[in-house]
Amino acid sequence: MTLRLLFDEIRSSLKQISDELNYPQVDFEVSEASRSEFGDVSCNITFLLAKNLKKRPFEIAEIISKEYRKNTGKFVKEVTAHPSGYVNFVANFVELNNSTIKSAAQKKYGDINVGKNLKIVVEHTSVNPNKALHVGHVRNIIIGDTISRILHKAQYDVRVLNYVDDSGLQVADIIVGFKYGGFSPEPPKDQKFDHYCGDVVYVNVTEKYETDPNLVEKRTQVLKELEEGTSEIAKFANEITRKVLDEQLKTCCRLGVTYDCLNFESQIVRSNLWKTVFEKMKLMGIVYLEKEGKNEGCWVIKSADEEDKVLVRSNGVATYIAKDIPYAAWKLGMLEDPFYYKKYAEQINGRVLWETTLEKTGNKLDFTGEKVITVIDSRQSRLQKIITKIMSDFKSQAEAYFHLGYESVTLSGKTAKTLGVDTVGKQMQMSGRKGIYVNADYILDILGVKTYEEAKKRNPELDELSLVEISEQVAVGALRYAMIKQDLDKKITFDLTESLSLEGDTGPYIQYAYARAARILEKAEDEPQFDVSFTDLVTKYELNLVKAIGKFDIQIEDAAKNLSPKIIARYCYDLAVTFNAFYEHVKVLTAEHKSLINERLCIVYCFKETLAKALDLLGISSPFRM
> With 70 as the cut, is the pLDDT of residue 431 above it?
no
The pLDDT-based confidence of 602 (bands split at 50, 70, 90) is very high
Rounded distance, CA 551 to CA 574, Å?
Answer: 11
The pLDDT-based confidence of 265 (bands split at 50, 70, 90) is very high
Rounded distance, CA 574 to CA 499, Å?
Answer: 17
For residue 594, give the 3-state DSSP assignment. Answer: helix
Q: Which of 141-150, 362-371, 489-498 has the least mean pLDDT?
A: 489-498
Mean pLDDT across the chain: 92
Written as one letter, the residue type at 57 is P
> With 70 as the cut, is the pLDDT of residue 432 above it?
no
Q: What is the pLDDT averaged over residues 511-525?
A: 96
Q: Which of 119-128, 207-216, 392-401 has the least mean pLDDT?
A: 392-401
> With 70 as the cut, is the pLDDT of residue 1 above it?
no
Rounded distance, CA 469 to CA 491, Å?
Answer: 31
> With 60 as the cut, is the pLDDT of residue 220 above it?
yes
| pLDDT (0 to 100) of residue 607 | 98
> With 70 as the cut, is the pLDDT of residue 425 above it?
no
Regarding beta strands 76-81 and 340-346, do their DSSP bridges make them parallel or antiparallel, or are they unpaired?
Answer: unpaired
Q: What is the pLDDT averaged over residues 539-553?
A: 95
The pLDDT-based confidence of 423 (bands split at 50, 70, 90) is low
Q: How do residues 397-422 score in pLDDT, each as one tens digit?
A: 888 999 999 999 988 888 877 777 77
Strand arrangement, sheet containing 287-289: 287-289, 299-301, 309-312
> With 80 as the cut, is the pLDDT of residue 426 above it?
no
Per DSSP, which regions of 417-494 are E strands?
427-428, 492-494
Q: How do residues 43-69 score in pLDDT, each as one tens digit?
A: 999 999 999 999 999 999 999 999 999
Rounded distance, CA 112 to CA 154, Å?
Answer: 5
| pLDDT (0 to 100) of residue 541 | 96
Phi-psi group of 289: left, alpha or beta (phi > 0 → left; psi -120 to 50 → alpha; rest → beta): beta
Q: Read out DSSP for 97-133?
A: HHHHHHHHTSTTTT---SSTT-EEEEE-----TTS--
| pLDDT (0 to 100) of residue 416 | 78
Q: Which domains does the chain have, with CATH numbers?
A: 3-91 (3.30.1360.70), 272-336 (no CATH), 440-617 (1.10.730.10)
The pLDDT-based confidence of 395 (bands split at 50, 70, 90) is confident
